[in-house]
Chains A and B, each alone.
Chain A
Amino acid sequence: MAILTKDEAKKIIDKVLSYSKADELSANLTGGRIGNIRYARNAVSTSGEGTNLSLSVTAAFGKRSGTATINEFDDASLEKTVRRAEEIARLAPENPEYMPMLGPQTYLAADPYSQNTANIDPAYRSQATFDSIDPCRKKNLTAAGYMEDTTRFTAIGNTKGLSAYNRETSVEFSITVRTADGTGSGYSTRDVTDVSKLSTKDATEIAMQKAMASTNARALEPGKYTVILEPAALLANVDASLMAAMMNSLDARNAEEGRSFLSKKGGGTRLGEKLFDERVTIYSDPTNAEVPAAAFGGGGGRFGGGGSDGRPQEKVTWIEKGVVKNLSYSRYWADKKGVKAIPPPANFIMAGGTESLADMIKSTEKGILVTRFWYIRAVDPQTLLYTGLTRDGTFYIENGQIKFPVKNFRFNESPIIMLNNLESLGKPVRLAGNLIPPLKIRDFTFTSLSDAV
């Protein structure tokens, strides 16, 4: 059984801790099941399901620590693992940045688990795939898609009294539909905690519409354009993304060491400075009902994790009205600086407006609608300049209406500049375990054209 209950997990962890002879010992027990189904050319290409249950034990003597893992759970194996971790810890060099383990913590009541998702079986995956392929076949379109469902738990405990348990589920689905002549392509993606909220048919319908509408794309000159970036263009679960790049850069140590866009000329950080449009507010909250996340690090946090040291995930405001309000700290760096050790977020929620995507298009005089970006890579970490391309549905908007599909563009842009050029924000939707609104941005920089469809 790969998914243990809180009591079952605690029993194993308590047994492990009872074998300890180290100054400190922690046990991290994880288990889960991942199922997937992949299709292309309107047929399933691969499908599988796997389970795993694993125990990781870390022992410490002073500033020396060692870790051993095992996936056998009889008493002898558990004790052997503890002894091996201790042995390695005794032999290891001192780590000057080692921090003592945490004692008991208080965690928020997060619940990122759905029994519906845990109940997914191969027949469900097969039907969900058929619901996506069948409408494409009927319209002479070609579907390529992927669905992955995860059910997992994490339990941690240590000899200082820390104890935590989390179980969570998620389903990610993405679909690309292409026209038979290869001149049109459309994309749609969804992710949910509860699979009953996922309709592969509905998501595929959007990709189909985009594919059919994107044939015979016209070329526009590269340059600065007003763009409406759909959530999948801002955040991706298959590639780097502009918003994830920015959120991942909110690290205090890098900023203070002078190697971050948040480093201040002459030393120090830009914490407290207004760096974005005042409508930009981003916070994290593991208890949010739409994007629930683990309440402690190591629970498989969906956005950067949060480490495995058992620190509580709390509601943290990272950017408020355009001002950088908080940075994440490792425990070592926080201790050195005498501040609270805020872990990186397990999710993020960007405040938006009430407008739908259709409303945002309606209010646009001239602009480009972007479905998705691709192959986003950092060009300059100093300015967070990134490059990448539009893909799978790029359209020209004029006088509040989509006029015609346009050829794909390459962009060179920084999320920092982008979030200073905000025109409007739409209603946030879930993507990659986070909530993000579609954004209308002026002066977004496209530097060249691509003939790729």
Chain B
Amino acid sequence: MKRRDFIHLSGMGMGALLTAGIPATGIPVLGNSVVPEYLLEPGVDVATKKRFADIALNAAKSKGATYTDVRIGRYLQQFMFTREMKVQNIVNAESYGVGIRVIANGTWGFAATSNVTPDAIARCAETAVAIAKANSKFQTEPVVLAPQKGVGDVTWKTPITKNAFEIPVQQKIELLMKVNSEAMKNGAGFVTSNLFFVNEQKYFASTDGTYADQDIHRVWPTFTVTAVDKAAGKFKTRDALSSPMGMGYEYLDGLASEKIAAPNGLVGYRNSYDMVEDAILAAKQAKEKLTAKTVQPGKYDLVLDPNHLGLTIHESVGHPTELDRVLGYEANYAGTSFATLDKWKTKKFNYGSKLVNIVADKLQPHSLGKVGYDDEGVPSKEWDLIKDGILVNYQAIRDQAAILGEKESNGCCYADNWDSVQFQRMPNVSLKHGNEKRSVFDMIKGVDKGIYIIGRGSYSIDQQRYNFQFGGQLFYEIKNGELVGMLDDVAYQSNTQEFWNSCAQLCDKDDYRMFGSFFDGKGQPSQVSAVSHGSATTRFNGVNVINTGRKI
């Protein structure tokens, strides 16, 4: 969009309010606010980035670094926030700079600068080496990297058809206003809706001989609808059933071909989302929740929709199979893992039933974690974490892979900004669908006493990813193969191994969809990453359900 277009659109009453820092939602904003057209300006050309990268590599080497990698990053974000018929905020942000990581004296060092000039880059590299040398004072074992052959000059881009930043601000705001007005018309007392767009333009170079230029796009449309019964002193919410995706604005096309019919008029959205349709349904369901029956605690067979199960996969499989947790690097913050090395070494640890096949990958089309190369220059790949129910592998980066004597990294290194140091982050972690033809309607028919759960609710799991309690957005009671009404106050508790061993049935590929998280937090200082989790609707037998209703 040209500047003139922005003024024209804004003149129609839909201009951008630009605010720095972190909006009231607590969403992290990594850059300085800019006018929207800056988001469409091309960044520095590849030849210049390569020249800058070589300056860093050479400067670090001259000061004694035995390994160096450099990331020249331009991070663009556009976040839109509305409430009822008001535009609360539009944030356009850009962040540009260089992060340099070295190994010197067998120790990591890292430095970053927003001053992307040859002199500043050289100084920054020298600082990284100096930090490494200072920290080597207490180092007892030198850092060793699993081998990685350089891949030369390569490029990769998220295969989008509509760049979200090219869509006029007015069009996006009109969509959110439509979402809000339809929600209000259909019974919502309050509604907030948001659009998040991210573009990471990232150039990576290392002393291995890799020069990777990547252009990564992500989108996330979402809302929260609230229904209030003031007389009863009650309120209930229903969040959007969208998923953050590694796509362009085409995700918002709402293609009928990407919708999957589900019971009670619910819609499963695959690679295309109808935000208005979902908002209408959400308003009706939030109202319905006000009078939903409170659940009887006990054992139930759970039928879990992919939009819910994704977060269960994330918490109970994704995080415990992160090798940095297993080794103790996150002990002070995010925790360690019950999936210890001894369990992995036996190749007999029953993580789940034989139906459970969970893969890690950075290749899945439209996923948030899909890239060409990670932030150590390792090409993306797919590998098994759990095969036929057995724990077979972890997610690793180069220095952790070397600790285990592995021959290569899994390519799981990521930093959320140029000034953040890269570390191990979760790739897409997904449950493979079943091979027998089975829809969610078929699955529910076979359940005598169960609950069908949709959407992300309250999630909590212990620091070794063992004991958990998960809620959801929508709960429907299943009796003798039929949905008989909405339930309230539902949460299920289990431990990871018991839960995955209770996995009894999977729907097939036609039901397979992705859930995603835009802001998965980890590390000190904390960083965010985006990741997808695919699955089909899945049944788990005999899970403990508690009633969370209280009186105050």
Nearest opposing residue in chain A for B489, CB measure: A380
B189→A258 contact, CB < 8 A: yes
Closest 8 A/B residue pairs (Cβ) = A265-B233, A91-B15, A450-B467, A91-B10, A452-B464, A144-B331, A452-B462, A144-B332
Tell me which of B134, B232, B332 contacts A265 (CB under 8 A).
B232
Interface-central residue, A65, A142, A261, A385, by most chain B CB under 10 Å: A385
* Bound Cα distance A47, B109 (Å): 7
A259→B15 contact, CB < 8 A: no
Which of B333-341, B379-387, B405-413 interfaces with chain A? Answer: B333-341
A265→B231 contact, CB < 8 A: yes
Question: In chain B, residues 443-463, which have Cβ atoms closer than 8 Å to a Cβ of chain A?
Answer: 458-463
What 1/0 mask marks residues of chain B from 426 to 455 whose CB sits below 8 Å from any chain A CB?
000000000000000000000000000000
Nearest opposing residue in chain B for A174, CB measure: B332
Residues of A within 8 A of B33 (CB): 56, 67-69
Given contacts A68-B33, A146-B524, 11 further A-B contacts (CB under 8 A): A48-B421, A95-B87, A146-B333, A257-B190, A258-B230, A380-B489, A387-B458, A410-B467, A416-B552, A447-B469, A452-B465
Which of B135-143, B352-360, B475-483 interfaces with chain A? Answer: B135-143
* Bound Cα distance A384, B234 (Å): 13
Residues of A within 8 A of B141 (CB): 43
* A70: Cβ under 8 A from any B Cβ: yes
A88→B333 contact, CB < 8 A: no
A451→B331 contact, CB < 8 A: no
Residues of A within 8 A of B467 (CB): 389, 408, 410, 448-452
Residues of A within 8 A of B87 (CB): 93, 95
Interface-central residue, B20, B230, B328, B459, by most chain A CB under 10 Å: B20
Nearest opposing residue in chain B for A415, CB measure: B552
Chain B's nearest CB lies how many Å from the CB of A252?
A: 15
30 contacts between A and B (CB under 8 A): A41-B328, A43-B140, A47-B134, A66-B15, A67-B17, A67-B18, A68-B18, A70-B32, A71-B114, A88-B17, A176-B332, A178-B328, A182-B336, A258-B228, A258-B230, A265-B231, A265-B233, A377-B458, A379-B491, A380-B549, A381-B237, A385-B550, A387-B469, A410-B462, A448-B467, A448-B493, A450-B466, A452-B335, A452-B463, A453-B336
Tell me which of B138, B233, B335, B336 contacts A43 (CB under 8 A).
B138
What 1/0 mask marks residues of chain A from 82 to 114 whose CB sits below 8 Å from any chain B CB?
001000100111011100000000000000000
Known: A144-B331, A450-B466. A88 touches B35 (CB 8 A): yes
* B110: Cβ under 8 A from any A Cβ: yes
Residues of A within 8 A of B107 (CB): 44
Residues of A within 8 A of B108 (CB): 45-46
* Bound Cα distance A266, B464 (Å): 44
A45→B329 contact, CB < 8 A: yes
Tell me the count of chain B residues lying within 8 A, CB to CB, of chain A: 83
What 1/0 mask marks residues of chain B from 229 to 246 whose CB sits below 8 Å from any chain A CB?
111111101000000000
Question: In chain A, residues 59-76, which have Cβ atoms closer than 8 Å to a Cβ of chain B?
Answer: 65-71
Nearest opposing residue in chain A for B491, CB measure: A379
* B265: Cβ under 8 A from any A Cβ: no
* B175: Cβ under 8 A from any A Cβ: no
B232→A44 contact, CB < 8 A: no
* Bound Cα distance A174, B331 (Å): 11
Which of A125-133, A155-163, A347-355 interfaces with chain B? Answer: A125-133
A123→B134 contact, CB < 8 A: yes
Residues of A within 8 A of B14 (CB): 93
* Bound Cα distance A102, B16 (Å): 24
* A122: Cβ under 8 A from any B Cβ: yes
Residues of A within 8 A of B6 (CB): 91
What 1/0 mask marks residues of chain A from 394 to 412 whose CB sits below 8 Å from any chain B CB?
0000000000000010101
Chain B's nearest CB lies how many Å from the CB of A413?
A: 9
Residues of B within 8 A of A185 (CB): 331
* A38: Cβ under 8 A from any B Cβ: yes
Question: In chain B, residues 14-68, which have Cβ atoms closer than 8 Å to a Cβ of chain A?
Answer: 14-21, 32-33, 35
Question: In chain A, residues 225-283, which have Cβ atoms closer than 8 Å to a Cβ of chain B?
Answer: 238, 257-259, 261, 263-267, 275
* Bound Cα distance A408, B525 (Å): 26
A69→B32 contact, CB < 8 A: yes
Residues of B within 8 A of A20 (CB): none
Nearest opposing residue in chain A for B101, CB measure: A46
Residues of B within 8 A of A266 (CB): 230-231, 233
* B149: Cβ under 8 A from any A Cβ: no
* B304: Cβ under 8 A from any A Cβ: no
A50→B419 contact, CB < 8 A: yes
Chain A's nearest CB lies how many Å from the CB of B34?
A: 8
* A363: Cβ under 8 A from any B Cβ: no
* Bound Cα distance A280, B464 (Å): 35
Question: In chain B, residues 135-166, which have Cβ atoms closer than 8 Å to a Cβ of chain A?
Answer: 135, 137-141
* Bound Cα distance A298, B19 (Å): 14
B328→A133 contact, CB < 8 A: no
Chain B's nearest CB lies how many Å from the CB of A230?
A: 17
Nearest opposing residue in chain B for A259, CB measure: B235
* B86: Cβ under 8 A from any A Cβ: yes
A450→B460 contact, CB < 8 A: no
Question: In chain A, residues 137-158, which have Cβ atoms closer than 8 Å to a Cβ of chain B?
Answer: 142, 144-146, 148
Nearest opposing residue in chain B for A71, CB measure: B32
A410→B469 contact, CB < 8 A: yes
* A424: Cβ under 8 A from any B Cβ: no
Residues of A within 8 A of B20 (CB): 54, 56, 67, 69
* Bound Cα distance A266, B228 (Å): 11
Residues of A within 8 A of B465 (CB): 452
* B181: Cβ under 8 A from any A Cβ: no
* B120: Cβ under 8 A from any A Cβ: no
B338→A47 contact, CB < 8 A: no
Residues of B within 8 A of A91 (CB): 6-7, 10-11, 15-16
Nearest opposing residue in chain A for B340, CB measure: A182
* Bound Cα distance A431, B78 (Å): 35
Residues of A within 8 A of B17 (CB): 65-67, 88, 92, 95
* B4: Cβ under 8 A from any A Cβ: no
B550→A414 contact, CB < 8 A: yes
A148→B525 contact, CB < 8 A: yes
Known: A54-B20, A95-B86, A258-B189. A408 touches B462 (CB 8 A): yes
Question: In chain B, residues 497-545, which have Cβ atoms closer than 8 Å to a Cβ of chain A?
Answer: 524-525
Chain B's nearest CB lies how many Å from the CB of A116?
A: 21
Chain B's nearest CB lies how many Å from the CB of A147?
A: 9
* B131: Cβ under 8 A from any A Cβ: yes
Nearest opposing residue in chain B for A34, CB measure: B525
B138→A375 contact, CB < 8 A: no
* A291: Cβ under 8 A from any B Cβ: no
Interface-central residue, B33, B135, B461, by most chain A CB under 10 Å: B135
Tell me which of B329, B338, B423, B459 contacts A144 (CB under 8 A).
B329
* Bound Cα distance A410, B131 (Å): 41
Tell me which of A54, A263, A452 contacts B235 (CB under 8 A).
A263
B234→A382 contact, CB < 8 A: yes
* Bound Cα distance A374, B458 (Å): 14
* B369: Cβ under 8 A from any A Cβ: no
